[in-house]
Amino acid sequence: MTTAPSGAGTSVPPMPERTPKALRAAIARHAPKLLADFDRHWRRDIADTYDLAPVPAFMARWWSEYALARDPRLEARVHRLEDEAAQESDYARAKTLIEEAGRMRRTAADAEPGQ
């Protein structure tokens, strides 16, 4: 795997193969703060139930979480927008901030393996 440029001389780890095992390994290596929640969610919804039906939803959620967390600058920007929206008293401005944060999250989550 190679790293994708993030600008200013930093690099962002690439997205892993789109499998739970590969995603977990990438989280463990590049975004360990997410690992406990990832494992807890996996056990609760999949491992403990022996039900594979939730795997696509699980992967969509954690793909998105990792896609954002692997780029600390992007993650910080999204969180700043969300925090600013939470403090905003003007509904229209708060809505604009949340919509921008949502667009950034969706764009990050659209990353393909290797990107």
User: CB 112: neighbour CB atoms within 10 A?
Assistant: 8
pTM (2 decimals)? 0.85
**Is residue 102's pLDDT more than 50?**
yes
Q: Which of 80, 85, 79, 107 is nearest to 98 (CA)?
A: 85
The predicted pLDDT at position 94 comes to 98
Task: Report the pLDDT value the prediction gives residue 3, as an integer from 0 to 100.
Answer: 44
Over the stretch 52-86, which tens digit does the pLDDT of each residue have? 999 999 999 999 999 999 999 999 999 999 999 99
pLDDT score at 79: 97
Q: What is d(CA 1, CA 75) in angstroms, rounded to the nearest whole number?
A: 22
pLDDT digits (tens, 9 = 90+) for 45-59: 999 999 999 999 999
pLDDT of 6 higher than 50: no
Question: pLDDT category, 7, cuts 50, 70, 90?
Answer: very low
